[in-house]
Structure 1
Amino acid sequence: MSTTEQSPQSVTDQPAHRYTAALAARVEQQWQDRWESEGTFVAPNPAGPWADPEGVAGREKLYILDMFPYPSGKGLHVGHPLGYIATDVYGRFQRMQGRNVLHALGYDAFGLPAEQYAVRTGQHPRKTTEDNIVNMRRQLRRLGLAHDPRRSPATTDVDFYRWTQWVFLKVYNSWFDAEADGGRGRARHVDEPGASVRVG
């Protein structure tokens, strides 16, 4: 049949390989599964259990930390990916330039919004926060962002906030001695000599 003799395609017929939302979801899920299984976005340490001394661990390092989403609601809003996509593009570019990129993200959940959400839902703040973090992790994975999944702290984790409380107590119980160490200055405990003469 010549091209002039071919019957025109019906308006209702779809091309054999149309890129649909369902196809896009399958393709993206396939790549996200592969990235996870191969550890594509994990940043190895130079030593220790997460070491990869023969691989990228010895390369120039780059640390990218995204703003922690606040899991006081059921999920992300459009403002979250807006910033995350920008840092993701930057991190991927730096990775292609040969750098060992640690792109991290955690979850910040202290404060009144988390408590108010728990009151509205009638659940304990720990339960609502942990459930919301699970959902946000699912959403972030579906976005295909290049965060290192092993480095994802939550400020509600005891192993995290015990250190922030320790630092706070160190700062709270200290004063800055500008004349110490030959004028370079350093923090001194409030019980050390000289604390009573501190100014301001």
Structure 2
Amino acid sequence: MRLLLVEDEPQMADALTTALSRYDIVIDHAATLDLAENAVANRVHDIVVLDRQLPDGDGLALIPYLRSLRSAIPVIVLTARGALADRVSGLDIGADDYLGKPFAVEELLARIRALLRRPATMAPVFSRLGKLEFSLDNRQARIAGVPLDLPRRELLVLEALVRRQGRTVLRSALEEAVYGFDDEIQSNALDSHVSRLRRKLSDADAGVEIHGIRGIGYLLRQAS
């Protein structure tokens, strides 16, 4: 999952990024409306978590811009402005949910899961290829029913490949699935993640293969 966090308070942004990253969520952070507009115009996100009080205006202004891009991406508004009129204005302009500060990360996660379960945003929740079973709902991989424990980056690589199984996934698309735009990416980091993942799938006799397309990307398919 890729999440855009629009929050100008550094401590809040750092705390949320740290907390949500533990749940295999890739976080892109924007501290202003301008940066947020650039982010949604240039990258695909699964959900936006949006603060209202930003240095260059009310965060709600991002929502009409999102809809002008024909994006149905869910938006959760986070704000200390919890008065009824503020909540109503946020929902009326197109926000999908509204959460007042302070809040528990567990509640934010529950609201994220609830929004992503809506029919308009739901992808297939389970995928099977060879002996590999992957739950897209909770990001659990199994080989013939046995859990396959993977580090976060390798799990995100596998999720991206599973979602596009049988098709070549561009390196740039894989990097977007695995890294936030504030992350420093070493030149061979992605290849290292793929190499370790490939070895673990082979050792577990998963019945799938990851093929590298030189200079282009990677392809997940059933082993021949």
TM-score range for the pair, normalised by the shorter chain length: under 0.3
Larger fraction in strand:
2
TM-score by length of 2: 0.23
The TM-score normalised by the length of structure 1 is 0.25
Greater relative contact order (Cα < 8 A, sep 6+):
1
